[in-house]
Amino acid sequence: MKKSLLLCIALAAGFIVGCSKTETAAPAKEAAHHHEHKPPHGGAPVELGEEENHVEFVLDAPNGKLQAFVMDGELENFVRIAAPSLEIAAQVSGHQEKLILQPIANNATGEKVGDTSLFEAQADWLKTTPTFDAVLKEITVHTKTYTNIAFNFPKGSDEKAKK
């Protein structure tokens, strides 16, 4: 009986020691974080600075209208600005076209001219021109002014933004 008791104690001790070992597995490699922006209106995202802010350009071709939404660095929130207008110089069929986007008020959000995130322009050439290269001449967001921002419509300029 003493032998079987000692054998049981030895087996139990061996079992406890064996189960209490923690194996050191190689740490799993974490997947690289892929930072991605999605334009909320499906438009062309144009980066301002180092992702400080964005402008999303949206074309309504049947009506010949181009909208510009001023957005934050993540393309998630609208940013109101006080600009009286935004100017774009576009290369269309070998010549330059100028668009002056006017501020748009929105009673539902409380945005008004002089405090809005939406600007619009209308031109007949927008009805038949689905792609063009352009330069946003100047835009001030908060206290920072960005000038001569080149982009392509509909690609935009923000490589991180995926549609």
- 3-class DSSP state for residue 19? helix
Is the pLDDT confidence value at 163 over 70? no
- Domain of 126? 44-153
Residue 107 has pLDDT above 90, yes or no: no
Q: In this structure, is residue 135 part of a structural domain?
A: yes
CATH code of the domain containing 48: 2.60.40
Phi, psi of 18 (to 5 degrees): -65, -40
Cross-strand pairs, 68: 57, 119
- Average pLDDT of the residues of the chain: 83
Tell me the residue type at 107: N
Is a pLDDT exceeding 90 seen at residue 132?
Answer: yes
* More confident position, 28 or 55: 55
**Residue 5: pLDDT band with limits 50, 70, 90:** very low
Residue 15 maps to a domain = no
Q: Which residue has the higher pLDDT, 8 or 117?
A: 117
Residue 16 is assigned to a structural domain of this protein: no
- pTM for the structure as a whole: 0.75
Per the domain annotation, does 163 fall within a domain?
Answer: no
Task: Determine the 3-state secondary structure of 63 from DSSP.
Answer: helix
Say how many domains are in the chain: 1
